[in-house]
Amino acid sequence: MSDDSPTYVTDEMRAAQGQWGQSRTSPPITETDIRRWAMATHYPQQPPRIYRDSEYAATTRWGGIVAPPDFNPFAWPVERPRGGGAPGLSGRRPDGRPLTGMNGGQTDTYGVPMRPGDVISARSRLVDWWEREGRLGHTLYVRTEIEWRNQNDELVRTRFSIGIRY
Amino acid sequence: MAIDFDSVNVGDKLPEWSRRTGFAEWNRYAAVNEEFVPFHMDDEAGRRAGNEQGAFGMGNLRYAYIVNALHDWIGDEGIVREVGCQYRAINQKNDVLTVVGEVTGKSRADGENRVRLDINVVNQDGGATCPGHAVVVLPSIGQTQR
């Protein structure tokens, strides 16, 4: 990229690269959270019994209800972090106008399943980024690593996610 | 009904898994994932975000469909170990999305029987919206007997 190309990369991003941010903790997962998640993602059909029928789930290898791997225990927190994290970590236009964000994709590796009663802790860090001219104009791609562990410090999920900012 | 590792072969196809998507599906997903982003809820906001047809669906919901398709295939005795995908095309209102996949490899690692697949989510026009891969863990015949 030539020196006069625009960049949305900020000094805050450069300073944060590779540094784990503060950990945050989910509310305890309930059977209702899991059932509603599964019903929403299977709508209009019924979700599998492993997500909604505790008697059946007890007969499986899991010994009880487990959450779908894609379940998000961080939705609907009672208290949320102020400001949604440090400013500038998602990139910024040189003229200061806000960027539009989109989800570019992810790769998740799953460890132990999430279960009712679990409390999940998450931490994340900026891995790297790149910019290019796309159909939406100048576009910044940011790769973030997000690690989830349960209350027993067992690894639940590692995600490498690509955020698109334009 | 569980499938077992030994009966799976490279080239096998994932059973197709489809949903027609629109506000009924997106709003339910927004509710459980607390994903109330204007361009998923409002046509004007979708156009302002660069999509002429208006509001569009969540990438995360397509991801959920991939996970659901894998789970329906492997059953409750299997494990979804890894899923990765890129969101390449927009999920427009009333798209019929179908998860497709094909087995590309089998291996034994860390005491697990692993099956790797190429996956995608295609729309009603055959457009590939979400290329990716998955790794699932399957029991072998001896392990499936309970």
Quick: pLDDT tens for A34-47.
999 999 999 999 99
Q: A33: distance to nearest CA of chain B, Å?
A: 8
Q: What is the domain-level CATH number for residue B40? A: 3.10.129.10
Q: Given an 8 Å threshold on Cβ–Cβ distance, is A105 in contact with B132?
A: yes
Confidence at A4, pLDDT banded by 50, 70, 90: low
- B78 near A CB under 8 A: no
pLDDT in the model for residue B61: 97
Q: Given an 8 Å threshold on Cβ–Cβ distance, is A72 in contact with B33?
A: yes
- Give A64-126 as a 3 state SS string: CCCCCCCCCCCCCCCCCCHHHCCCCCCCCCCCCCCCCEEEEEEEEEECCCCCCCCCCEEEEEE
- B45 near A CB under 8 A: no
**Is residue B67 within 8 Å of B74, Cβ to Cβ?**
no
pLDDT in the model for residue A81: 66
Q: Which of A65-79, A83-97, A141-155 bottoms out in mean pLDDT, i.e. has the lowest?
A: A83-97
Give mean pLDDT, residues A137-149. 96
Tokens linked to B2: 């569980």
Chain A CB contacts of B72 under 8 Å are 48
Residue B75 φ/ψ, nearest 5 degrees: 75, 180
Q: How far apart are CA B65 and CA B25, in angstroms?
A: 11
The residues of chain B scoring below 50 in pLDDT are: 144-146
- Is A112 or A95 the better-scoring residue by pLDDT? A112
3 state SS of B46: helix
Confidence at A90, pLDDT banded by 50, 70, 90: confident
The CATH number of the domain covering residues in A1-27+86-166:
3.10.129
Chain B CB contacts of A162 under 8 Å are 86
Q: What is the pTM of this model?
A: 0.91
Confidence at A86, pLDDT banded by 50, 70, 90: low
Q: Please state the domain extents for chain A.
A: 1-27+86-166, 30-72
Confidence at A61, pLDDT banded by 50, 70, 90: very high
* Domain count within chain B: 1
Tokens linked to B37: 């982003």
Tokens linked to B67: 């996970």
pLDDT in the model for residue A31: 98
Give the neighbor-by-neighbor strand order of the sheet with A137-149: A24-25, A121-134, A137-149, A155-165, A101-110, B79-86, B132-137, B112-122, B96-109, B17-20
What integer best gives the mean pLDDT of chain A?
A: 92
Give mean pLDDT, residues A17-21. 95
Q: How far apart are CA A89 and CA A91, in angstroms?
A: 6
Percent of chain A topping pLDDT 90: 78
Tokens linked to A88: 């500038």
